[in-house]
């Protein structure tokens, strides 16, 4: 098993909450992580029809089997069980008693909010980050291979090609989740919608235009997009709210949370083709944003990432608040530093003034160094963006 950075967070939360909820997309490693972290607890999957029927028909006796707690996998499959868990953990007053995992965040978290408020520590687990892969020497050898393969664990612990794994993932998991969450008559139309979303990753989200391109209404596009969000396949990056004297774009941007899935949906079947692909920049930007989200989710924190754009096109790709000020990140897929990248960073510093920290430029090259008022970070060092000496090396 490749060690996960979320392990330490799970241990910490288990000391202060009776229930730990581990959510994330299907096949992101939730079950493996839960079993490896809480080795003393029995494991039960509520995908198992017999276990699910037992939990639904007699939840009290179902839970009485677990005197030392348990890992309950796919807990959203039996929402009525959560109310019984509330009374049990309140009586036992034992921290880290039950571990719940789930891959449909809306179903699971709505039940948690209603029944288990104040009793739950939550961690969202996405596929492997570059840092987790690099820690065991398993990161892809090139940027193009990283963008093509993505981070799903199955592609690193089995001899599988992304071209073989992703079509089965979409058919087996995504389409099944879709049928559980909403009724879709034409699955072919939904598949086209998912591919159109992949083609728009990194762009401002226009539901009307997206729906029109797929032959559906904006309302349907919104509903279908919520399914992709509930399944942890896409996210919306909100615009930053401060205007710095400018009129702002207030529409969110759309991003996939795994670049390998995005690449497959775009029809990319080999890593080498990414080097000259028309959407190479969007693929790289999607990967960087997803890596920044992973850093936060796996630390048990909300994403709290934004972008900033004014009405004349001045833009910061990613922006987030720190105790020391606003950190701006520019994302460039090129292999070598270009002068206009530095000019864009200077423009941001002039605009934001004292509120801004030195901008970071993440690019497709290998080196990391300081240049003028910026930090330039190669793609391999994205995981150590904050305060690592290798990033600041001259």
Share of the chain above pLDDT 90, in %: 70
Q: Which of 124, 153, 175 is the last residue of a domain?
A: 124
Domain around 77: 7-124
Considering only CA atoms, which of 44, 32, 48, 53 is closest in space to residue 98? 44
> Do 256 and 319 have their domain in common?
no
CATH number at residue 236: 1.10.10.10
pTM above 0.85, yes or no: yes
Evaluate if residue 388 carries a pLDDT over 60: no
Q: What is the pLDDT of residue 177?
A: 73
> Do 225 and 91 have their domain in common?
no
- Give residue-wise pLDDT tens across range 78-129: 888 888 999 999 999 999 999 999 876 555 666 666 667 788 999 999 999 9
Asked if residue 297 is part of any domain, the answer here is no
- Give residue-wise pLDDT tens across range 267-300: 999 999 999 999 999 999 999 999 999 999 999 9
Bridge-based pairing state of the strands 325-332 and 315-322: antiparallel
> Do 40 and 116 have their domain in common?
yes
Q: Which residue has the higher pLDDT, 325 or 179?
A: 325
Asked if residue 394 is part of any domain, the answer here is no
CA distance 75 to 77: 5
Asked if residue 48 is part of any domain, the answer here is yes
Evaluate if residue 387 carries a pLDDT over 60: no
Q: What is the pLDDT of residue 322?
A: 92
Q: Which of 267, 285, 303 is the last residue of a domain?
A: 285
Q: Sheet containing 98-102: which strands, arranged edge to edge?
A: 43-45, 70-73, 98-102, 19-23, 120-124
Q: In the predicted model, what is the mean pLDDT of the chain?
A: 90
Evaluate if residue 392 carries a pLDDT over 50: no
Residues 6+ apart with CB under 8 A from 96: 13, 14, 15, 17, 18, 20, 38, 69
Asked if residue 392 is part of any domain, the answer here is no
Burial class (CB in 10 A: 0-12, 13-18, 19+), 213: middle
Evaluate if residue 37 carries a pLDDT over 90: yes
> Do 134 and 177 have their domain in common?
yes
Q: What is the pLDDT of residue 83?
A: 86
Q: What is the pLDDT of residue 90?
A: 92
Q: What is the pLDDT of residue 394?
A: 30
CATH number at residue 26: 3.40.50.300
Averaged pLDDT for residues 211-220? 94
Averaged pLDDT for residues 185-212? 93
> Do 151 and 280 have their domain in common?
yes
> Do 89 and 227 have their domain in common?
no
> Do 134 and 258 have their domain in common?
yes
Evaluate if residue 250 carries a pLDDT over 90: no
> Do 120 and 135 have their domain in common?
no
- Give residue-wise pLDDT tens across range 166-183: 999 998 887 777 777 777
CA distance 281 to 237: 17
> Do 354 and 233 have their domain in common?
no
Asked if residue 293 is part of any domain, the answer here is no
Asked if residue 2 is part of any domain, the answer here is no
- Give residue-wise pLDDT tens across range 48-85: 999 999 999 999 999 999 999 999 998 888 888 888 99
Burial class (CB in 10 A: 0-12, 13-18, 19+), 111: buried
């Amino acid at each position: 098993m490749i060690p996960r950075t979320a392990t330490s967070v799970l241990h910490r939360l288990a000391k202060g909450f009776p229930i730990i909820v581990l959510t994330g997309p299907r096949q992101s490693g939730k079950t493996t992580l839960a079993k490896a972290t809480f080795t003393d607890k029995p494991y039960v999957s509520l995908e198992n029809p017999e276990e699910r029927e037992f939990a639904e028909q007699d939840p009290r006796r179902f839970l009485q089997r677990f005197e030392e707690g348990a890992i309950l996998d796919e807990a959203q499959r039996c929402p009525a069980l959560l109310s019984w868990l509330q009374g049990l953990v309140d009586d036992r007053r034992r921290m880290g008693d039950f571990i719940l995992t789930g891959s449909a965040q809306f179903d699971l978290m709505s039940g948690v909010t209603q029944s288990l408020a104040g009793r739950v520590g939550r961690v969202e687990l996405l596929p492997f980050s570059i840092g987790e892969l690099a820690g065991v020497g398993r990161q892809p050898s090139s940027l193009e291979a990283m963008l093509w393969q993505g981070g799903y664990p199955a592609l690193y612990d089995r001899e599988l090609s992304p071209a073989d794994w992703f079509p089965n993932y979409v058919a087996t998991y995504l389409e099944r989740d879709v049928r559980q969450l909403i009724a879709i008559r034409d699955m072919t139309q939904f598949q086209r919608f998912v591919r159109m979303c992949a083609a728009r990753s990194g762009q401002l989200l226009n539901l009307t235009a997206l729906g029109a391109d797929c032959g559906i209404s904006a309302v349907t596009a919104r509903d279908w997009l919520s399914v992709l969000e509930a399944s942890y396949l896409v996210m919306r990056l909100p615009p930053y709210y401060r205007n710095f004297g400018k009129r702002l774009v207030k529409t969110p941007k759309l991003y996939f949370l795994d670049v390998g899935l995005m690449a497959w949906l775009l029809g990319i079947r080999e890593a080498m083709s990414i080097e000259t692909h028309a959407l190479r920049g969007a693929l790289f930007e999607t990967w960087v944003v997803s890596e920044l989200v992973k850093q936060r989710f796996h630390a048990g924190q909300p994403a709290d990432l934004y972008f900033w754009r004014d009405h004349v096109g001045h833009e910061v790709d990613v922006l987030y608040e720190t105790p020391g000020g606003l950190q701006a990140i520019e994302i460039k897929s090129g292999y070598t530093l270009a002068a206009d990248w530095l000019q864009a960073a200077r423009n941001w510093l002039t605009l934001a003034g004292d509120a801004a920290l030195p901008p970071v430029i993440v690019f497709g090259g290998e080196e990391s160094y300081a240049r003028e008022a910026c930090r330039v970070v190669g793609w391999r060092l994205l995981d150590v963006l904050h305060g690592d000496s290798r990033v600041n090396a001259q």
